[in-house]
Structure 1
Amino acid sequence: MIIVGVFWGVILISVTVFLILCPGKRRSILLLISSLLLVLIVSETVLRIYYPQIRNEKKGFEYNKLLGWTQGPNKKLYISLTGDGISRLIETNSYGFRDDEFVVKGNEKRIMVLGDSFVSNYAVDKKDVFTEVMESRMKNTTVMNLGVNAYSNVQEYLLLKQMIYELKPDLIVLMIYIRNDFYENTGVDFGTSLRPGAVLNENTSEVILLPTPDFQSIGTSEKSFWRIYRKSHLYQLLTKRLRQLQYNLERARQTIYRPTKDIPPELYLCRKELTAEVKYLYKLMEQLLLMIAKFADEHNTQIVFVVAPSMVQVEDELWLSILETYKERSEDYDISQPNKGLVKFAKNNSLHMLDLLPYLRLEYAKGIALYNRKEQHWNEAGNLMVANALINYLSAEMK
């Protein structure tokens, strides 16, 4: 934000100087330019304060050849989620996770929780994150939060392989976020990060892991996150609107319903008739889950997969507004389809899986707000509900 501010400040000062020095028509032209610049600056400022288009969930993270990025050990990071009026200090332990130091007594059960920002959950105080709530309510149990913002299931698997020997968990909980894990498992990042990915062997359906691209080897033109205009909230808003227009044009040509930046993933994941590209994403997810479960079994550790729905899946009004915006028909969709598919697959393959969608929808039907409106992650009430659902599931299903 400072870099962008300096950039626009230098431009405006330069134009002002030219206005003073240049008479006549040149002055009129420069006056027009300066007025446009002022409008841009004001628009950018308003967007940053009231309608932010860029999330800073990876702010302060470090490039990592194996995992893509890490939060870094013993860090203190001030996070501001301006859209929801949330500001707080985020601290990591010596392992680089948003948790206290992992100190386990000899008789305590160890639960390792892996996931993305729904696990690290910067939007609430640390004491309100569902892992902390679980730990406070479960006897003789340490719940270790290994959540890292924007991680895919591939990254979580690689992190598990790295940490299982040191932390020696008795139980693993791995969170699947419906909205973006499907496409991020391929290594795609519609943001600005480099991440490892996975593909399927065409003949055997075996998962082939793809390494993180080398940061030093990519061309200057590809290092887009260093470009100032990419950091502009106004630029991001305009590109979103252009992609929405592109979506409507492609819809007329029947070439949509695939992963596309800024298009709600529910429009391709929850469609009753899936495209071949999306079916592949489902298949890749399923094979990844089998691979992760096999690894846990080889290390004599139980694992539970938890399906975290998007806010769009929970709140009917939000889903209907998306259908209206993109001119889609509700009868062509089943908003719970990805969850149903994963639960069915888990049952057929003897995997332990908890789908949070029914629990969240039940609470929302009571008028309880469970998500932060702009940031779209669980608030305190959402975290409490998730903690209760997990505790009940583990008590009933895991011995």
Structure 2
Amino acid sequence: MLSKYLKFINSKKINTFLLLTFTWIIIPLLLVEILMIVFEPYLFKGLYQYDPDLGFRVRPYINGNNRFGFNDRDYPLEKNQNKFRLLVVSDSFNWAGGKEGNYTALLEKKFDNYYGKSQVEVINVGYPGTHTGEQLAMLKKYGLQYNPDLVILGFFAGNDFRDADPERKRIIVNGIYIDIDKKDELILFGYPIIGKSRLLMFLQQKYKVYQELQKAKQDSAKMLSSSLVASLNLASAPIVEREKSPGILSKKAFLRVEKSRLKFCKIKDLLEGKRDKNINYIFQSILDMQKLLKSRNIEFVVAIYPDEYQVNDELLNEIFAEYDDLKRESYNLTCQQEILSKFLAANNIPYIDMLDRFKIEQNNHPLYLLREPHWNRAGNLLAADILFDYLVKDIDEFFGDN
């Protein structure tokens, strides 16, 4: 009798515990998940927003962006026929340096000095975190509304091939981007529904950001003390200049990113066709872009931007020193440029390979931000110079005809 009573008591305690758990933990968590779906447009107003066609876009008029979310001012959509207008389509390289210090803005200033104010309009058309296939969709939806004379596609050798998964759709959920399979996308009331906890994703992202910031601060503190000594030596000036902008990643995290990019060019994998799916997707996207622009009588040029490990021997040595499993002879360090330039030449698509100029200038001063894959002021200026030197003859012809 006593044992039955004890079982009854234990059973009642368990049921009470489960009921309380459900009431005070499960239900609130479910409510938070629902609220994060319903109130996403009102609670999450960061840099990015969901776009049903592109997956995501930069939110208009935030941090000085324009109506389409591009890192530039607004231009009239109706083009002045007496002016030359070019679009520069790319990814986060179109954001480094801000609106005024980006290579697209510096290129426009060079044209202003050469032809006169606003005779050549250089419109920055790029979203961070995109590859060529996604940029084609962006160009169709927003970029071509500007009716340009020329489109420059900026191709980053570091990750544009690597990230080019034809099935990928990068979407924004509660301010966080995630990659989903295109065919698995589910839309409800105009917003994506995903099979993951939004709250958990949000907390995980914030924790990762916090951890990385702490590591970066520790690295910066160590480098600051060493740079005080280095600054006494005039020969160390370029290094000190490089350290003025602390990296957003810790040293280990940055080397891990560069390693993942380098691995795309493993010779054995290339020969076995393991990269063909990504490469062919990029090729098809470029051909589609060429066809689209040709149908509108718009000129097309591809500019190839090098990764830092391709021009900075010190960084390359650090990568191989950090990862013993990487053997230098197993990698073709410039495979991206070789693959893309061969394809472009075969299809009569003009291109600008910036690799050699960046290699030369990197010996004089740093061209990339510290532990950050984008150009610093000097890198943006060099990219603008290279583009100007290539384009000025064709633009001269335009004004000569007019």
How far apart are 1:375 and its partner, in Å?
Answer: 2.3
Q: What does 1:142-181 correspond to in 2, within 5 Å?
A: 142-181=121-160
Residue 267 of structure 1 corresponds to 262
SS in 1 for 2:367: coil
1:216 equivalent to 2:192? Answer yes
Q: 1:151 to 1:196 in 2, by over 3 A?
A: farther
Aligned to 2:86: 111
Question: 1:304 matched to which residue of 2?
Answer: 301
Deviation at 1:213, TM superposition (A): 6.2
Q: Determine which structure has the larger helix proportion and give its number.
A: 2
Residue 345 to residue 368, structure 1, CA distance change in 2 (3 Å) = same
One-letter code aligned to 2:391: L
SS at match of 1:142: strand
SS of 1:182's partner is coil
In 2, Cα distance between equivalents of 1:131 and 1:226: 35
Higher relative contact order (CA 8 A, sep 6+): 2
Q: 1:263 to 1:96 in 2, by over 3 A?
A: closer
Distance 1:213 1:321, change over 3 A: farther
Give the deviation of 1:346 after TM superposition. Answer: 0.7
Q: 1:381 aligns with which of 378, 390, 395?
A: 378
Query: The residue matched to 2:341 in structure 1 has which SS?
Result: helix
Q: Percent identity?
A: 26
Residues 67 and 196, structure 1, Cα contact 8 Å, conserved in 2? no
Any gaps of 5 or more consecutive residues in structure 2?
1-44, 216-255, 398-402
Once the 2 structures are TM-superposed, how far is the Cα of residue 116 of structure 1 from its aligned partner? Answer: 0.6
> 1:279-358 to 2 correspondence within 5 Å?
279-327=276-324, 328-358=326-356
* Aligned-partner residue type, residue 73 of structure 1: P
Deviation track 1:11-62 (CA, whole Å, cap 9, x = no partner) reads xxxxxxxxxxxxxxxxxxxxxxxxxxxxxxxxxxxxxxxxxxxxxxx95211
- Report the CA distance shift for 1:213/1:286 in structure 2 as closer, same or farther (over 3 A): farther
Once residues 344 and 189 of structure 1 are traced to their aligned partners in structure 2, the CA distance between those partners, rounded to angstroms, is 29
AA at the equivalent of 2:375: W
CA distance 1:179–1:189, change in 2 (3 Å): farther
2:91 alignment partner AA: D
Q: Hey, what's the Cα distance between the residues in 1 that align with 2:299 and 2:146?
A: 14
Q: C-alpha displacement at 1:234, in angstroms?
A: 7.5
Rate the CA distance shift 1:349–1:94 in 2: closer, same or farther, 3 A: same
Cα shift at 1:173: 0.7
Q: Greater shift after overlay, 65-74 or 262-271?
A: 262-271
- Distance in 2, Cα, partners of 1:363 & 1:166: 37
- Tell me if the contact between 2:153 and 2:303 (Cα under 8 Å) persists in the aligned partners: yes
TM-score, normalization by structure 1: 0.66
The one-letter amino acid paired with 1:163 is Y
Whether 1:98 and 2:79 are equivalent positions in the alignment is no
Render the CA deviation track for 1:310-362: whole Å, top value 9, x for unaligned.
11222111112212222222111221111111111111110111111111111
Q: Distance in 1 between matches of 2:346 and 2:107?
A: 29
1:183 to 162, 168, 176: 162
**Stretches of 4+ moved more than 4 A in 1?**
188-192, 194-197, 209-215, 234-237, 396-399
Q: What CA distance in whole angstroms lies between the structure 1 residues aligned with 2:155 and 2:200?
A: 27
Distance 1:92 1:210, change over 3 A: farther
Q: Could you tell me how far apart the structure 1 residues matched to 2:313 and 2:171 are?
A: 26
Choose 1 or 2 for highest CA Rg. Answer: 2
In structure 1, C-alpha distance between the alignment counterparts of 2:357 and 2:108, rounded to whole Å? 20
Per the alignment, in what secondary structure is the counterpart of residue 232 of structure 1? Answer: helix
Q: Distance in 2 between matches of 1:324 and 1:351?
A: 39
Query: Is the 2:171–2:178 contact (alpha carbons within 8 Å) kept by the matching residues of 1?
Result: no
Paired amino acid for 1:339: Q
Is 1:231 the equivalent of 2:218? no
CA distance in 1: counterparts of 2:123 and 2:200, whole angstroms = 32
Aligned position for 1:71 = 58
Return the alpha-carbon distance in structure 2 between the equivalents of residues 188 and 96 of structure 1. Answer: 19
Residue-by-residue CA offset, 1:146-186 (whole Å, 9 max, x unaligned): 12111221221011111355210000011111222223221
What's 2:9 paired with? none
Q: Distance in 2 between matches of 1:72 and 1:143?
A: 21
What stretches of structure 1 of length at least 5 have no aligned partner?
A: 1-57, 77-90, 198-208, 241-260
Which AA in structure 1 matches 2:347? N
- Using the alignment, how far apart are the partners of 2:369 and 2:179 within structure 1? 27
Deviation at 1:395, TM superposition (A): 2.8
Contact 1:68 1:194 in 2 (8 A): no
Distance 1:177 1:301 in 2: 22
Equivalent position amino acid for 1:292 in 2:
M
Contact 2:312 2:362 in 1 (8 A): yes
Count of residues in correspondence between the two structures: 292
